[in-house]
Every structure is written in C-alpha cells, then in structure tokens.
Structure 1
Amino acid sequence: MMDIDNVKTISFGDSNKESKHIAFCCDEKYVKYVGITVSSIIDNNPEEKFAFHIFVDLIGQDDKEKLQLLASISGSSIHIHVIDNKIFGRMQLPENSGNLSIATFYRFIVPAILKDKAKKVLYLDADICVCGKLNDLFEIDLENKLAAVVEDFGEKQINSATRGSERLNLSRYFNAGVILFNIKNWNKYNLTDKSIKMSLEKVYTMADQDILNILFKDQVVFTDEKYNYQCSMSNELDNKKWEWERDIPDDICIIHYICGSKPWHSWTSNCKLVKNFYEPVLRKSLWKDVILVEPLSYKEMHQAYRNCKLGKDLMAAIYWYFQYAVNKAISKIKM
C-alpha cells in the first residue's frame, strides 16, 4: 500500500456528514483555474454544503489566501492536500501530452485519502465550468459499482484511432474528467496500489484515463452527457466547424473544455460556451484578475487569428495571421 501519511493537509472550514465531497488534482499553476471551477459550483448550488479537496504539489500564498476567503464566504470547506512527488515523479506521460502534468495521476490516491471522510467523491478536472445542480449526480446508486462516468467524446468520432474502446478492447470507454467514485469499493479492491503499479510499468496513450478504463471495466454506471458535456474548441477551430455557434441543451450541468484550447486562453474569448458560462463566473470570482494566456505556438496563433476574425476585430486578425505565418515559416526552417 502506498504510504499516504506523507500527504499534508491544510483545511479551511469543517465538513460534516451532509457535505458533498469534490476533488481536484493539479499542479501549482492550475490552482487558480480550480478556484474558478469551485466558484462555479458554489454559485450554481447555493443551498448545498461542499467539502472541496485540492491535491497539489505546491501552492502559492495568493491562491491559498483566496481559497481561505472563499471557504469563509461560502460556508463550504476547502482542504489542500500537499503531495510528495517521490512516487509520482517516476511516472511518465505519453508523448505530445499537451496540458497534462504528473498531477493527473494524483487522482489515484484521492479515494484512499478520503476513505474515512465520505462514501462518494466527485472528481473534476480544472478545465470545467459547472452551470447546474449537482444533487442528482451525487444520488446515483453505486452500491455494486466503482464509479459513475460519461462516455468519452472520442467514441463518437469517425476515426477509430480516437476511440479508446477499440484501442483497449473494451465495450465502452469513458472520459476521466468527471468521475463519481465509490470510495468503499475503490479501497476494497486496492485500486490505489493497482493503478500506481500500472502507471509505473507502462506509458499509456491517454495516461490515467486509460488505466482507469481498464481497472473499471464493466464496473461503472454510464450516466447522461449533461454531467460531462465535452467541447473541443481546438478541434472545432481546426476543422472550421466552429464551437462558437453551438447552442447547448438547457439541462447541461457540467461543461468540460477538453483538448488543447482552454477558456483561460485568449484565443477562445469569442466562443459562446466561454462567453456565456465561463467568463461570467470568472468575473465574479476572487480570481477575476487572472491574465489570459496568449498564443505561443504558430498553431495557437492561427486559432487566435480565427477567433479575432469571428469577433470582427480586423486589425487583431491581421496581426495574428501575420504572426502565424512568420512563426510557421520559422518552425519549418528549423526542421
């Protein structure tokens, strides 16, 4: 069994038996985005009391103070679990893993840390905006199951290479950005040790997501996509089928901004799913002064150009197209 005694916890506020437990795993630079997601949960579920758990290797003083204030204002508790990377530092991520960091594997210890605190815990990625009630999700019966999940976006694609079910020879494949864990059953089958062992033995195409799909085979409840509504702004931009014009169903509860382009990137500012949902939460939150990330790669610059074009900002569109063309040419010369 992994030694979890080395995990140090900083708590702001107290949880009780009525608290709904929600967990996040991230590195230091993503804590602010977790704070925004937490704010979206509190805003849309004012009658609920939550216990938020943030698993992180480091945390800055500014984010720590804001989380403490948020706990005080909301009446929910916030617990920061500081991870020793001694074990996780030996794990390897797949090539071209983009925004992923070693922190993605922290979720393997979440049910072990919380085994005496809750029966269920909802794990959420940091690139999420909650825009509805979570009560019905927590009420899903997991008595003989390991988790409640939602099918992965890639399973609906024409290209079979994107379908995890075919890669791993599974009947179905879920997205690991939203998982309601059955804590008792996870620990009953010693899945913390098993998942860590798998991640040390092999590099999986989709990292922890593949590992969890393998371990959870036929032991999950597949629930409605409204609890993990996955939108890939990167894919839509690249394929000229813009996410900007998408209208989402009224009952959507959790928006998940998957793939490379995120709602904190400047080149997604004209996306309806960002403007109508994420930005209002951001502006009201304690992280309202967070600076949007600007494009660095030529591909991101091209997306910035298309974003500006959509927003009818002609001068900015010309600027980013010029930057895109120059940087793409430079990258080809260096190859």
Structure 2
Amino acid sequence: MNIVYTCQENYANIAGISIFSLLKTNLNEYIHIYFLDSGLSENSKNRMRNLCKSHGKSYIDFFDVSLLLKKYSDKLTAFQNNYATYAKLFTEMLLPKNINDCLYIDADTIILSSLSEIFNNKDKFTLSMGYDVVHKNHKKNISMKVSEPYFNAGVIFMNLKKWRENNYSEKILKFISEKNSFIYGDQDIFNLVFRNDIGKLDFKNNVITQFFFFKKLWLIRLLYKLNDNNFYNKSEFNFSKINIIHFTYFPFILRPWFLGSNHPYVNYYYNMINESPYKKDFKIVKFKQPRRRKLIQILNRNLIVVTIVGFMSKIFYGNKKSKSLFLEALK
C-alpha cells in the first residue's frame, strides 16, 4: 500500500498517532509511506522512521514540499495560518513516476481496521473521496451548483496513472495561478479542478466529526439540501463498521487532543496514544472556548437536534410536516 501524509511540525505527534494506528491495524500489509514534508524536525522524522521499522513491513520516505508551497504561497489563501494543507495538491509531482496509485490520509485521523480493500478500487475516476457537508452558499461562491456533490479532502484515493494521463498537475498549477481565494483551502481546489472526475469513497473510510454530531441521514439532508445524487444513501450511512475516523473541526465537538474533548472516540484515541511511543510527550492542549459554545456542548445533543429540526422544518415544510419531523428527531 502506498500511503501519503503531510503536516508541519506542530502536527507531527498527531500525524505520528495516525501512522501508529495505520501500522497497528494493517500488520500484514507492506506499507510505503510518502511523507510530504513542509517543516518537520529531524527528531520527528526519526520517530516516524522508527515506527515503520518496528512494524517490519513498512517504509517511510520524506519529500520536501516547502519550496513548492513557497513558490505558490502568494496565489493561495493561508488555511488556519499555514499552507501545509496544499501540499497534497503536488502529490503526483513529488512521488516517483512508477507509482500508479496511493491513498492520501490527513494527519488528524485514526485508522481502526485494514485499508487493503481501498486499493482494489477499479473506479473509472481519477480520485475517490468521501462526501462532505457545506452550506449551499459556499457551493455558489465557488461556482458549483447546489445539486453537485462536494467532497472532503481528508482521505483521497488517487489514481496517479490517470492523473498523469489527464495532465492534472498542469491544470492545478494553472488554476492556482488564476485564483487566489479558497475558503476551504485545497479542498475547494480538488472539487473544482477534478470536477466530474471524482468517485465516491465509502462512508466508512472518512467519517468526519459532523456525521457524529448529526447522526441522522435525513437530518443532514434536510440541513444541507442533499439527496442520493450528491450524498450517501441510507444503507451507506452506517456507523457499524468504520475504517477511518477523521477529526474535522466542528465547534460543538472538540477534537481528542484538546482537554475536555467530547468526541465519541476520545477514549479510543487516548488508548492509541498510551500504546504508542508518543505516550510520554503527547500534549493534550488546554483550550479556552467561548461560553456559548461550551454550553451547547454540555447540553444534550438531542435537545440541540430537536431545536434545529423544529426551526428548519417549519421554515421549509410548514406546521404539518414539522410535526412528523419532530417525532422522528425525538427517537
């Protein structure tokens, strides 16, 4: 399996936990990690090398992406005060040309089981990505139709052979040179440059934080105006078997490296830390939250959902339909 990661030094330990979980849950796989380095220390690199050595069937190589990021930084919008997230756009340019496919995984993830079946992907598309949820106005602002699917760039199966055949690296550079404002960073760029050439990655391979909060498929569809053509269907939206948890930012659920995290997999994450070589120096960060946000986290999630449903359903469907949606939300 060819796996790609990227991050800066401030995310090195978080990336290390993700890599540790990958190796732990894929013991029988030969894994080659290609790390797009945008500022890691030698100490962090050596720790990752040692992780791979202990696995016995894995290797890690580091590719310096800092010059590319610097070259195009004036054309890009800093995302959370850095440009590291854009590194994945240059995957094909940096990896050896004999590699035909790879799986990109964000550092803020944890792997729960084998990923081998992803590499059996026979999709006709260049990329395979999981769905994300964004407001309809965001789609309009980046010249997408509301009815179009919008994908999350945290886990991407990349068919590099098709990428090269379709000259996507050139298209990316051309697109970057013409645009300079991306609210969701590289994710917007992937959705636009690879438009109509992105296949659906299974729900279980990129379960983002928003899904854990809303939980109900019908509720997500109601709030974000989604359907079978631009989102998962009922059988796909299933939490019973998860391969990759993606700890995306969401104001009402704190990620597990923050003190007081209320993420449903926070204890699993702590267990992974305690099993890993990062146990002694992994820092759980104190984070002072706005009072209103903290209050909402403390409140019962169902109360929040019912309130949202009541408000939204009355607007969209009127009193008659809102009553049935209320009853569904209370289940």
The TM-score normalised by the length of structure 2 is 0.73
Residue identity over aligned pairs, in percent, reads 24
- Tell me the residue number matched to 2:277: 286
Structure 1 stretches of at least 4 aligned residues deviating more than 4 Å after TM superposition: 162-167, 233-236, 301-310
Match of residue 210 from structure 1 = 188
Distance 1:294 1:308, change over 3 A: farther
Which secondary structure does the structure 1 equivalent of 2:107 belong to?
A: coil
1-structure distance, mates of 2:109, 2:46: 22
Give the SS at the match of 2:53.
helix
Counterpart in the other structure of 1:262: 255
Question: What is the aligned partner in structure 1 of residue 315 from structure 2?
Answer: none
What does 1:1-335 correspond to in 2, within 5 Å? 20-75=1-56, 76-83=58-65, 84=67, 85-93=69-77, 97-98=79-80, 101-142=82-123, 144-154=124-134, 159-161=135-137, 168-169=144-145, 171-202=148-179, 203-232=181-210, 249-259=239-249, 261-268=254-261, 270-275=262-267, 277-288=268-279, 289-296=281-288, 298-299=289-290
Distance 1:171 1:58 in 2: 36
Aligned residues: 270
Q: CA deviation at 1:51?
A: 0.7
Tell me how large the CA RMSD over aligned residues is: 2.9
Task: Encode CA deviations 1:142-198: one digit per residue, 9 max, x unaligned.
Answer: 3x32111111133xxxx5335579851262111111110000111222222321332
CA contact (8 A) 2:34 2:95 kept: no
CA change 1:110–1:164 in 2 (3 A) is farther
How far apart are 1:303 and its partner, in Å?
A: 5.1
CA distance in 2, matches of 1:135, 1:234: 25
TM-score by length of 1: 0.72
Asked if the contact 2:209/2:246 (under 8 Å) is kept, the reply is: yes
Please give the alpha-carbon distance, in whole angstroms, between the structure 1 residues aligned to 2:239 and 2:212.
Answer: 21
- Read off the aligned partner of 1:138 and give its amino acid letter: F
Q: Which residue of 2 aligns with 1:325?
A: none
Output the amino acid matched with 2:61: H
Partner of 1:272: helix, strand, or coil? coil
Q: CA deviation at 1:33?
A: 1.2
* 1:32–1:197 Cα change, 3 Å: farther
Change beyond 3 A, Cα 1:292–1:302? farther
* Whole-angstrom CA distance in 1 between matches of 2:140 and 2:205: 20
Structure 2 counterpart SS, 1:22: strand
Secondary structure of the residue that 2:247 maps to in structure 1?
strand
5+ long unaligned stretches in structure 2: 215-237, 301-331
